[in-house]
Structure 1
Amino acid sequence: MTSCPADSTIARVRRFNRFYTRILGLLDRHILDSPFSLTEARVLFEIANTRGCTATKLIELLEIDPGYLSRMLKKFEKQNLIFKEKSASDGRFHFLHLTRKGRDVLAKLNESADRQIAKLIGSLSGDRQAALVKSMARIEAVLSGQPDSSIDSSVTIRTHRPGDIGYVAYQHGVLYAKEYGFDLTFDYYVARGLVEFLENYDSVTDRLWLAEYDGQIVGSIAIVGRGGNTAQLRWFLVEPGFRGRGVGRRLMAEAMNFCRERQFAKVFLWTFDALHAARHLYQSFGFQLTDRKEHDVWGRHLVEERWDLDLGRA
């Protein structure tokens, strides 16, 4: 589903574009410290690394003007940086290759570019450099429509600490209002349960875990001891941008390992029938649907479900 971006969003993207274009302009003039522009260096790079590289492929890859590329390739040939090889299957096409001189020139360009990038970000701390790289990966993933693989390896799971409880309540209130239309009575329900969790907290039987990415809480899950070797799984949530990446499964694994370590015999949870992905995950961990009740709650008409897991049989 697409939506028309707000004027403020468009203005912010244009501001970033102007800033980054200025950075690229500085790089173009100074980073390579050579007679080659960034575009020329990129063409040499693609010729070296693109299998079966042709002028047509370069136009598609770089979205470059055909006339400009033609003049550039003629200059490279004159400088003995590239040579052409006629295609055996189609004489209309010529494959492009770097000469030995071309490979030497590209190696020096890469070394120079590496030095200048190091100079550009060298004043940043290690944490800020890492944040910069993560931000670049997120922008690339969002605009390309591809998953950001850096997320998967960078999400950490930890137990709760001061300040987390309020944020977990906030996340639940915002997300369930947005995705399911819950009203303020759900905020009260979640907040009251979390307050009770803190009031009665016992580290032997109770635990709250948070999934964290780049200092941001992106998921949660809890186990609350209910007496009689029984525990309840509560407050399971994964932010939309982090779903489908195994974060929920990692949180579930932490919770279930804790239950086994504490030798709980049974674990139960309450959910509702619209949470399809969560229900599938519960089922994959051995939970079984044991009860359903239909009623009006949190401003909606819901079918609540109880799921149980017998750890003695799991």
Structure 2
Amino acid sequence: MSSLTEARISEVRAFNRFYTKVIGVLQSGMHHLPYSLTEGRVLYEVAHADSIETGELRTLLDLDAGYLSRILTRFDADGLIVRERSAADARKHVVRLSAAGREAFEALDRASTEDIGRLLAGLPEDARERLVDGMRAIRDVLDPPAGPETVLIRPPRDGDLSWVVHRHGVLYAREYGWGRTFEQTVARIVADFDPPGDAAWIAEVGGRPAGCVFYVRKPDATGQLRLLLVEPSARGLGLGRRLVDECLRHARADGRERVVLWTRDCLSSARRIYEAAGFRLDSEEKGVENGIEVNEQMWSVDLAATPSSNGR
């Protein structure tokens, strides 16, 4: 096992211990309610399903059959649930909350909301956003959505420009070994961003930034496409092509006759997008980034000779 893998396992275990401790703190705030965290989960699922077959409930919560049976027996004795034979299959039972069970669930739900509200209230706003974003990221990685998420191409909002610099620095260092000087180059490009002459677009997937591209107005009826990036988690959705199409559509509307771009030949996925959009290689030369040899390339497209893509 590599040292990197061991370090990652250690981090996951440390987070697991910490998270369990935090959940314990939140749960301790509900000690005036006579339910454990697992019992609360059972109440929650039954409440939101209206009625549910016990086998389905066991699978949903990944609980041992005997453990779930003991919880339901306790709830039955306390008058919180009603158990009936399934109308579809008499061998099975379904459960639903009684009026008392509904009251118990609502009390538990209020207590949980209040405890989490107190946790968030003790944090500054930026820390709250980081916490929620981190939790969302963990959920997305370990349990990705089954269906397609909403995709949006939009202008930058407050905070997006720093995201562009940060993600370029992180991803290109991780994937190609380019270092701080590359991130500084991106930072200078972003610092020079000057709307309304220049323009930029952020691709959102599921409400979170997942890609970007910049348009810079140049002399002689020329525009430049810069900083195309798509997050690894969003690749394969066609975002790169949509961002490039948006940039070219804007260049036409801005009266540009030609769009140029600078890239490196190792960025093969981006190159395929550029070629599909009509760009052609003009020149290339050797360069070095963080001690790594790279092949710098200049590409261009003649807008008059290239029709717009689907009217975009």
Q: TM-score, normalised by structure 1?
A: 0.71
Match of 2:304 in 1: 310
Alpha-carbon distance in structure 2 between the residues aligned to 1:105 and 1:97? 13
Contact persistence 2:258–2:301 (CA under 8 A): no
Contact persistence 2:241–2:273 (CA under 8 A): no
Match of 2:120 in 1: 121
Pairing 1:240–2:232 present: yes
CA 251–303 in structure 1, closer or farther in 2 if over 3 Å, else same = closer
Q: CA deviation at 1:279?
A: 3.3
- Residue range with higher mean Cα deviation, 20-29 or 164-173: 164-173
- 1:82-122 CA distances to partner (integer Å, 9 max, x unpaired)? 11121233221011111111111111111122112212222
Contact persistence 2:81–2:101 (CA under 8 A): yes
Pairing 1:279–2:269 present: no
Aligned partner of residue 263 in structure 1, secondary structure:
coil
Alpha-carbon distance in structure 1 between the residues aligned to 2:164 and 2:74? 64
CA 289–243 in structure 1, closer or farther in 2 if over 3 Å, else same = same
Alpha-carbon distance in structure 2 between the residues aligned to 1:193 and 1:78? 65
Contact persistence 2:258–2:300 (CA under 8 A): no
Partner amino acid for 1:267?
V
Alpha-carbon distance in structure 1 between the residues aligned to 2:62 and 2:226? 51
- Where do 1:47-126 residues align within 5 Å? 47-50=46-49, 53-126=52-125
Unaligned 5+ runs, structure 1: none
Q: CA deviation at 1:148?
A: 11
Q: CA deviation at 1:17?
A: 0.9
CA 124–171 in structure 1, closer or farther in 2 if over 3 Å, else same = closer
Contact persistence 2:151–2:203 (CA under 8 A): no
Partner amino acid for 2:226?
R
Q: CA deviation at 1:307?
A: 4.0
Alpha-carbon distance in structure 2 between the residues aligned to 1:66 and 1:163? 50
Alpha-carbon distance in structure 1 between the residues aligned to 2:274 and 2:282? 18
Q: CA deviation at 1:75?
A: 1.4
Q: CA deviation at 1:267?
A: 1.9
Q: TM-score, normalised by structure 2?
A: 0.71
Alpha-carbon distance in structure 2 between the residues aligned to 1:48 and 1:312? 58
The number of aligned residues is 298
CA 204–312 in structure 1, closer or farther in 2 if over 3 Å, else same = farther
Q: Report percent identity of matched pairs.
A: 28
- Residue range with higher mean Cα deviation, 161-170 or 71-80: 161-170
Contact persistence 2:168–2:229 (CA under 8 A): no
Match of 1:262 in 2: 254
Partner amino acid for 1:78?
A
CA 205–160 in structure 1, closer or farther in 2 if over 3 Å, else same = farther
Q: CA deviation at 1:223?
A: 3.5
Alpha-carbon distance in structure 2 between the residues aligned to 1:141 and 1:193? 28
CA RMSD of aligned residues (A): 4.8
